[in-house]
Structure formats: C-alpha cells, structure tokens
Structure 1
Amino acid sequence: MEHAFGPYMKQLREQQGFSINQLAEAAGISNSQISRIENGVRGVPKPITIRKIADALGVPYTDMMKQAGYIETGQAADVQDVPEWATYKDRRDFKRMLEDEDDLMFDGIPLDEEDKKRIKDVLTGLFWEAKQMNKRKKPGESDPRS
C-alpha cells in the first residue's frame, strides 16, 4: 500500500485547496518532505508526521493511518489490539489517567486537554509502528533490541 499513500495525500491536499508550501507550513514540516512523500520518493511517513498532516488537512487521522498501511482495513485502534502484557486493569488505568479531570503533570506543569490528546496520539502511533515492525520480522528471527 506504500505506493498508494503519496497520491492519496496529494489528492487530499488538492481537494482542500492547499499548495505544497501551505500544507508544509500548516503541518510544521518541510515542503520538500511533502513533495517527496507525494512523489513516492520518501515512502510512508511515521505516524507522528501523518498526525501533523491529517490535522493540517482536517481529515481523520485513522483514515490516513489505514491508507499508510499502519492499520489494516476494518481494524481500529481499539482495546482488542493492545500489547499482550497489558491487562484489562492496565488499559483501564491508562485510559482513566489520560481522561481524568484531575491534573496530569509533566515536570511539575499541568497538562491541558490538547497535551493529553497528543500523548495519546503519540503512544497510539508508536504502538502501530511497533506492530508493523513485528509483522515484518520473519518467524524464528530474534529481536535485535534484545
């Protein structure tokens, strides 16, 4: 599906009436990176880059992640697709921590709703990236990180 992501992104950009430079500025990434993605030179960007592009274009992040191949069609980033080590309590506690009205802090500074959403998005992106990497690993191949 990699070959289809660039033209898909270009079509979205053109539908929204953005030039490459306008999208680059709105997304906070370089115009050369946008061009390389659209022309298939760069390939599929990382989930965090897809998040920036989706936000800038005002399109669903999940749709772009599906087109990029991070999420299989019909699959959603939901509770059923969590790491094997995560128990129901882990999932519940993590969700509660990010959605709780109490102050969640980093380095002594309270995080606002946008910060919490970003944390959730980054962790989701990291999860899908790790899942894709595990799919590419051949059976019986050892993990190079261990």
Structure 2
Amino acid sequence: MENEFGVLLKQIREQKGLTINQLAEAAGISNSQISRMENGLRGIPKAPTIRKLADALDASYGEFMSAAGYLEGTDGMDAAEQLPAWATSKDKRDFKKMLEEDGELMFDGIPLDQEDKQRIKDVLTGLFWEAKHMNKRKKKHNENPDGR
C-alpha cells in the first residue's frame, strides 16, 4: 500500500483523459503537488484535498479515502461493534445518512438546504477521517515509544 493513493489518482486521471495540468486547474491544486502524489514523492494528502481531487475527477471520495489509508483501523469491526454498550438506538443513528435524507434538518433554528447539508457532510467527513488517522498514529506511537 506504499503508494496506493498515487497509483489510483493517476489511473483515474488517465481514464478520464485529463492531463496533470487539467486536473490541477479543475481541483485548484498545483500540478507539481499532483505529480508528487502520483509518483509517491508526497505524503498522503489531507481529506479536503482528497475531496477536491475526487470532485474534479467525478470519482468516488470513499475509494480515494480508502486508498489513502483513512478508512483503515477498524480492525474488521462494523460500526455497530464499535459503539459503546450504553448507546441507545438514537445514539446509533448514522449522522451521515441523516444529512443525506430528504427530511428537514435545522441548526440553531435555521433550516438547512441541500447545499448546507452537503457542506456539513464534507467538512465532518474530512475531520472524522483525519481524526481517525491521527488516532491510529498515536496508537502506533504509544505501542512503540522508542519509534521502532
């Protein structure tokens, strides 16, 4: 999985018939940054950058997040297995699905339209997977405090 993200990025970009410069312009990311990602010369980008690339390529954000390693670390457990024992059925509701549903949602008494819901979902998705990635790093560091 050394450069799985870069390989996937290049593969999808080429399938779409885009040059690095075209993707850079569409995503609002420098062409040198994209080139370094594709060639494994840059670390894994943050979730907001992955979102820009997925949107520009009209590709699966989840597939990119998985290739980047953000969706790892659940040790094969599904979401229900990760919930605490005290969680009720209301606690177990998937917030992402709630944002995707057509029902009315409000924040501070103001109704959210579809654009609001999508923006909230995008921001929360990025923050959530970034936090999961950071927690995974902390666990590895705590298991091997001398860096080995």
Report the TM-score when normalising by structure 2.
Answer: 0.71
Q: Deviation per CA, 1:86-130: give whole Å up to 9, x if none.
A: 955356495687346547468x98653133112112212211111
In the alignment, the residues of structure 1 paired with residue 18 and residue 74 of structure 2 have an alpha-carbon distance, to the nearest angstrom, of 29
Change (3 A) 1:37 1:113: same
2:61 corresponds to 1:53: no
Q: How does 1:1-146 map to 2 (within 5 A)?
A: 1-72=1-72, 80=80, 87=87, 88-90=89-91, 92=93, 94=95, 98=99, 99=101, 101-102=103-104, 104=106, 111-138=112-139, 141=142
In the alignment, the residues of structure 2 paired with residue 96 and residue 6 of structure 1 have an alpha-carbon distance, to the nearest angstrom, of 29
Task: Give ranges in structure 2 of 5+ residues lacking alignment.
Answer: 143-148
The answer as to whether partners of 2:80 and 2:92 remain within 8 angstroms in 1 is no
In the alignment, the residues of structure 2 paired with residue 37 and residue 140 of structure 1 have an alpha-carbon distance, to the nearest angstrom, of 25
Change (3 A) 1:102 1:20: same
RMSD, matched Cα: 3.5
In the alignment, the residues of structure 1 paired with residue 81 and residue 25 of structure 2 have an alpha-carbon distance, to the nearest angstrom, of 34
Report the TM-score when normalising by structure 1.
Answer: 0.72
Task: For 2:44, give the aligned amino acid.
Answer: V
Change (3 A) 1:109 1:135: same
Runs of 4+, deviation exceeding 6 Å: none
- Percent identity between matched residues is 64
In the alignment, the residues of structure 1 paired with residue 2 and residue 58 of structure 2 have an alpha-carbon distance, to the nearest angstrom, of 22
State the shift of 1:62 in Å. Answer: 0.8
The answer as to whether partners of 1:33 and 1:42 remain within 8 angstroms in 2 is yes
